[in-house]
DNA sequence: ACTCCACATGAGAATGATTCTCATTATTGG
DNA sequence: CCAATAATGAGAATCATTCTCATGTGGAGT
């Protein structure tokens, strides 16, 4: 009832398969292009629909870029967060038991039910980190 | 040099003022409507521009809704996070020293520079919390 | 295996938030 | 007060995402 029936189609399999073959976050449009390039064409609208379903099912991670694009990526069932490079998009999965606990505590402390949280840490990965001399404007603010 | 000159205009003052008068998160379009209603008309484009500048200056908090809208709200200079009700939009500001530390630690542990983070906790506030009997599907997963 | 039909698909139109263009207006240093 | 130039605003343009609806197809039933 809460889980409407979903038919098994070639398109959905193609999307799921492609997601499984790449470990990076990509926009729906990029996944669409990849599928087309792989000779497994799937309509853009279908890619969007499938990606959303998978996201709801918790089978893909969703990320919003500052530019407003939504990125998707296959994910391990386990809950985790991301450390993302602002330059090249390189990602590292990290988990933070402390954060989970904190979020839950904060929510209940204010009487909020069914807490859920979003945690993203961004920075410049080792490769993109500026070779700036160690005396520049590292000043907080 | 890094801070391009900025002229003082009535419009920018109007936006900043309006932000100071309301404590809620609103989209650029909503702020625009409010300004117009207040008899202090400011072009929509200008509202967007001003809001972005203020955001970059760290004077307003920015929030992305699932619908893809960007919400803005005046903020206290201090860094903090939000506890947001998914139903009514009610927000509570919270800070989490533990989270800050964790984020910084995770970043440097992976060699990431200039860490920055996003943390949002959502849930159902006391008023919106379902009056569901305490035996329903509270089961995780 | 064959049929039927509700759900899935896809091409393109529609939507909607945000950004851009550029002529006009207004701030500020001199 | 004047000129140089940044800021403004109306509407066009952009762009990701969603919707529309005619057509295709899983898969349960026969």
Same domain, B65 and B16: yes
Report CA dihedral (B111, B116, B117, B118) to the nearest 10 degrees: -150
Same domain, B45 and B66: yes
**A65 has a chain B CB within 8 A of its CB:** no
Same domain, A64 and A115: no
Q: Is residue A135 domain-resident?
A: no
Which residues in chain B have their CB less than 8 angstroms from residue A107's CB? 83, 121, 123
Q: Is residue B133 domain-resident?
A: no
Task: Report d(CA A75, CA A27) in Å as an integer.
Answer: 15
Task: Report d(CA A96, CA B64) in Å as an integer.
Answer: 23
Which residues in chain A have their CB less than 8 angstroms from residue B123's CB? 107, 112-116
From A50, A75, A100, give the residue that closes a domain. A75
Q: Which helix (H) or strand (E) holds B70?
A: strand B70-74
pLDDT in tens, B11-62: 999 999 999 999 889 999 999 999 999 999 999 999 999 999 999 988 998 9
Stretch 15-44 of chain B: residues touching chain A, C-beta under 8 Å: none
Domain carrying residue B37: 8-75
pLDDT in tens, A16-29: 999 999 988 999 99
Same domain, A69 and A93: no
Mean per-residue pLDDT for A3-27? 88
Give chain B's mean pLDDT. Answer: 85
Name the DSSP letter for residue A118: E
Q: How far is A141 from chain B (nearest CA, A)?
A: 9
From B36, B52, B75, give the residue that closes a domain. B75
Same domain, B47 and B35: yes
- Tell me the CA distances in angstroms from B71 to A140, B20, B25, B26, B28, one per residue in order: 25, 15, 6, 5, 7
Identity of the highest mean pLDDT range in A29-38, B76-85, B93-102: A29-38
Percentage of chain A beyond pLDDT 70 is 87
Same domain, B63 and B13: yes
Cα B96 to chain centroid, rounded: 16
A75 is in an annotated binding site: no
pLDDT in tens, A69-122: 999 999 876 788 889 888 888 888 888 888 889 999 999 999 999 898 888 899
Name the DSSP letter for residue B72: E
Task: Report d(CA A65, CA A71) in Å as an integer.
Answer: 7
By C1' distance from the Cα of B6, the closest nucleotide is D6
pLDDT of B75 reads 82
CB hemisphere CA count around A42 (13 angstroms): 27
pLDDT of A96 reads 83
Q: How far is A82 from chain B (nearest CA, A)?
A: 10
Same domain, A13 and A61: yes
Within 8 A by CB and 6+ apart from B11, the residues are: B42, B43, B46, B50
| Model pTM score | 0.77
Q: Is residue B137 domain-resident?
A: no
| Longest CA pairwise span in chain A (Å) | 61
Which residues in chain B have their CB less than 8 angstroms from residue A112's CB? 83, 85, 121, 123-126, 129
- A110 compared with B67, residue with greater pLDDT: A110
How many Å does it take to go from CA A116 to C1' D20?
34
Same domain, B82 and B71: no
- B106 compared with B4, residue with greater pLDDT: B106
Q: Is residue A3 domain-resident?
A: no
Q: Is residue A50 domain-resident?
A: yes
pLDDT of A4 reads 55
User: Could you say which nucleotides of strand C lie within 7 A of any protein CB atom?
Assistant: 7-12, 17-21, 26-28
Same domain, B54 and B21: yes
**B1 has a chain A CB within 8 A of its CB:** no
Bridge partners, A62 (sequence order): A72
Mean per-residue pLDDT for B91-107? 89
Q: Nearest Cβ partner of B121 from A117, A122, A123? A: A117
Same domain, A50 and A36: yes
Q: Is residue B134 domain-resident?
A: no
Same domain, A71 and A81: no
pLDDT of A21 reads 93
Task: Report d(CA B102, CA B93) in Å as an integer.
Answer: 19
Token output for A6: 């979903």
Name the DSSP letter for residue B139: -
CATH of the domain at B82: 3.30.1490.190
Task: Report d(CA A38, CA B33) in Å as an integer.
Answer: 47
Within 8 A by CB and 6+ apart from B6, the residues are: B53
Identity of the highest mean pLDDT range in A51-55, B94-98, B114-118: A51-55
CATH of the domain at B37: 1.10.10.10
Residue from B91, B112, B114, B117 to probe the interface with A (highest A Cβ count within 10 Å): B112
- Tell me the CA distances in angstroms from B61 to A58, A89, A140, A141, B12, one per residue in order: 28, 24, 18, 15, 17
Task: Report d(CA A18, CA B137) in Å as an integer.
Answer: 34
Closest CA to D24 C1' — which residue? A9
Q: Is residue B1 domain-resident?
A: no
From B57, B75, B93, give the residue that closes a domain. B75
Same domain, B67 and B104: no
Cβ within 8 Å, pair B123-A130:
no
**A122 has a chain B CB within 8 A of its CB:** yes
Q: How many domains does chain A have?
A: 2
Q: Is residue A84 domain-resident?
A: yes
């Amino acid at each position: 009832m809460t889980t409407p029936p979903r038919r098994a189609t070639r398109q959905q399999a193609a999307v799921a398969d492609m997601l499984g073959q790449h470990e990076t976050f990509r926009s729906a449009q990029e996944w669409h292009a990849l599928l087309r390039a792989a000779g497994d064409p799937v309509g853009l609208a279908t890619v969007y629909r499938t990606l959303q379903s998978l996201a709801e099912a918790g089978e893909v991670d969703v990320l919003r870029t500052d530019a407003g694009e939504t990125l998707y990526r296959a994910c391990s069932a386990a809950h985790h967060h991301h450390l993302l490079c602002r330059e090249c998009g390189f990602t590292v999965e990290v988990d933070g038991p402390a954060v989970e606990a904190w979020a839950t505590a904060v929510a209940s402390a204010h009487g909020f039910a069914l807490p859920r949280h979003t945690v993203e840490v961004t920075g410049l990965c080792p490769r993109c980190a500026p070779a700036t001399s160690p005396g520049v404007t590292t000043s907080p603010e």
